Amino acid sequence: MMNSALPDAGDLSAPYRAAYRDHAVLITGGLGFIGSNLARALVQAGARVTLVDSLIPEYGGNVFNVADIQDQVRINISDVRDPFSIEHLLRGQDVLFNLAGQTSHLDSMNDPRKDLDINATAQLSILEACRKVNPDIKVVFASTRQLYGKPDYLPVDEAHPLRPADVNGINKLAGECYHMLYHQVYGLRTCALRLTNTYGPGMRVVDARQTFLGIWMRLLVEGKPIRVFGDGRQLRDFNYVDDCVAALLLAGCQEVANGRVYNLGAPDVIALGDLATQLVATAGQGAVEYVSFPAERKAIDIGDYYGDFSRIRNELGWQPGVLLAQGLRRTLDYYREHHRHYWPAAT
């Protein structure tokens, strides 16, 4: 069997075993970055896990992400846009982690109809299927900080106005609103986590569709320079994937989360230029290049962003535990060892 053991990764499941042992759990986007890491923790917790993924090349699904647990999960290759498949898969499930989505902001502007189909229309179909065939299921939806657009103030809390800066943000907002509506009207046990910049082993690194940190990781492993748009002063917060998984698990097993929306975030906010410099130092190779913003990116850039995560800390007991320097090192180590499974060899 291929080895995809994560560097320095511990057993994340210990606090959640009582909540998830012998429970049936469905993860959409289960072969993707966050879904696969979540699946690993749930398997360790003793859950019966089904992974749904379309394996559409642009969306980040990768069978290698679950190579170490492939005999302990059920994998279904299907698309969340297929309502018949989703209805069948939802039967008998106790928890749905609804992570599947189109994440590229530029792709959403170039093909807004496809983004609408995946991030809004398909979400409505999933919730309708829950209402019809499994109204007792718990649903945790992966939303995004992109809903806020350009912040009016920092840190951004959940009361901040919602002004998405691109098609992706609008459609993700619609998907989130559907989840909240189905809680309010039909009593479905839904909640949403507004994820910030999540990174770690298993993220898409072949290009920048999922996160700019992905392509930075690839370039550094190859010893090439990484590019920072603008002056590099834009502030961001980052969550290592283990912390994101912990938040999902907490939301999935606590009833107080029902009908609630939560920001994720981190205390160690950093400017992108400083992040690039830190990454080069961690990698021991590469360089930083500052370039002008491409026009299509500048039009949807939100400037500084970092979130206030006090609500999820106070209500669910979550806070990030992996420091940025530690997480970056783990991620670089992973791709140095396993890069052949994530991008083609240089020719």
Quick one: CA torsion of 53, 58, 63, 64, rounded to 10 degrees?
-150
**89 phi, psi to nearest 5 deg:** -70, -25
b/e 169-206 (16+ beta carbons within 10 angstroms → b): bbbbbbbbbbbbebbeeeebbbbbbbbbbbbbbbbbbb
Mean pLDDT of 207-218: 87
Residue 1 has pLDDT above 60, yes or no: no
Residue 2 has pLDDT above 80, yes or no: no
Q: What is the DSSP string of 21-73?
A: TT-EEEEETTTSHHHHHHHHHHHHTT-EEEEEE---GGG---GGGGTTTTTSE
**205 phi, psi to nearest 5 deg:** -125, 0
b/e 294-316 (16+ beta carbons within 10 angstroms → b): eeeeeebebeebbbbbebbeeeb
Nearest 5 degrees, angle CA 309-CA 315-CA 317? 75
pLDDT 10s digits, 298-331: 777 889 999 999 999 999 999 999 999 999 999 9
pLDDT at 3: 44
Going by pLDDT thresholds of 50, 70 and 90, the confidence category of residue 148 is: very high
Which region among 71-85, 104-118, 247-261 has the lowest average model confidence (pLDDT)? 104-118
Task: With CA atoms as reference, report the closest residue to 36 among 57, 62, 17.
Answer: 62
Q: Which two tokens stand for residue 257?
A: 């989360």
Residue 112 has pLDDT above 50, yes or no: yes
Whole-angstrom CA distances from 168 to 110, 131, 256 are: 11, 26, 29
Q: Using CA atoms, how far apart are residues 236 and 266, in angstroms rounded to an integer?
A: 9
- Residue 207, H or E segment: none
Q: Using CA atoms, how far apart are residues 312 and 245, in angstroms rounded to an integer?
A: 14
Instruction: Give every CB contact of residue 63 below 8 A, 6+ residues apart in sequence.
Output: 31, 55, 70, 75
pLDDT 10s digits, 182-194: 999 999 999 999 9
Given a contact cutoff of 8 angstroms between Cβ atoms, the answer to whether 90 and 129 are in contact is yes
Instruction: Give every CB contact of residue 174 below 8 A, 6+ residues apart in sequence.
Output: 119, 120, 123
Using DSSP's 3-state secondary structure scheme, residue 155 falls into coil
pLDDT 10s digits, 10-19: 566 678 899 9
Instruction: Give every CB contact of residue 205 below 8 A, 6+ residues apart in sequence.
Output: 214, 215, 217, 218, 335, 339, 342, 343
| Domain 21-340 bears CATH identifier 3.20.20.100 | no
Residue 218 has pLDDT above 50, yes or no: yes
pLDDT 10s digits, 245-288: 999 999 999 999 999 999 999 999 999 999 999 999 999 999 99
Half-sphere exposure of 126 (CA within 13 A, CB side): 31
Given a contact cutoff of 8 angstroms between Cβ atoms, the answer to whether 88 and 65 are in contact is no
